[in-house]
Structure 1
Amino acid sequence: MNPIAILAIAIISEVFGSTMLKKSEGFKKLWASLGVVICMGLAFYCLSLAIRTLPIGTVYAIWAGVGTALTTLIGVIFFKEQFNMKKFIGITLIIGGVIALKLSTSGAH
């Protein structure tokens, strides 16, 4: 499987796991708690596969950065958390950093 696709699965799994972490209410809700364990396990497994062929620094930055941005958006959309200019600037900087890292390693595997 394509390492970029594996990284995308890692990101989606981590974001879903983080969302389930909120829903678990401190691991008091069984199904949400199981979702955390399964999704985070899948996320780290896929992350380990992605770093086999892609640079670890770039992979981790993309995984953490995109995951943070998506988790922030999920908080705003589904949990009605506040969205303000500081969050917008933060997400913009994260995305810019991810793009810069990807451009710095284009063609390097």
Structure 2
Amino acid sequence: MNPFVLLAIAILSEVFGSSMLKASNGFKRAAPSIAVVAGMGLAFYCLSLALKEIPLGTAYAIWSGVGTALTALVGVVVYKEGLNVKKIAGLLLVIGGVVLLKLSTGV
């Protein structure tokens, strides 16, 4: 499978798992708690497969940066967390950093 497809699955799984952390209420609710473990487990498995072909620094920067941005957006949309100029600027800086790292590796 294409390593960037695996990385995308890892990112989406991590965002799902992270989003379920809030729903788990401190691991007091069973279904969201199981979803956290499943999402994170799939995320790390797919990330480990992607790392066979993508350099560690590049893969981790993309995984963490895009995951952070998407998780923040889930917070705004699903959990009705606030969105302001500082948050938008921070997300744009994270995404810009990921793009620059990707461009620097030629992968």
TM-score range, shorter chain: over 0.9
1:84 partnered with 2:84: yes
Take 2:75 and 2:96, find their aligned partners in 1: how far apart are those partners? 21
Aligned residues: 107
Give structure 1 regions of 4+ aligned residues with deviation exceeding 6 angstroms.
Answer: none
Task: Report sequence identity in percent.
Answer: 64
**What's 1:33 paired with?**
33
1:106 deviates by 1.3
1:89 maps to a residue whose letter is A
Alignment of 1:17-32 (within 5 A): 17-32=17-32
Take 2:7 and 2:68, find their aligned partners in 1: how far apart are those partners? 14
**What's 1:15 paired with?**
15
Which blocks of at least 5 consecutive residues in structure 2 are unaligned? none
RMSD: 0.6
Take 2:78 and 2:32, find their aligned partners in 1: how far apart are those partners? 15
1:66 maps to a residue whose letter is V
TM-score (norm 2): 0.98
Alignment of 1:38-57 (within 5 A): 38-57=38-57
Which blocks of at least 5 consecutive residues in structure 1 are unaligned? none
**What's 2:6 paired with?**
6
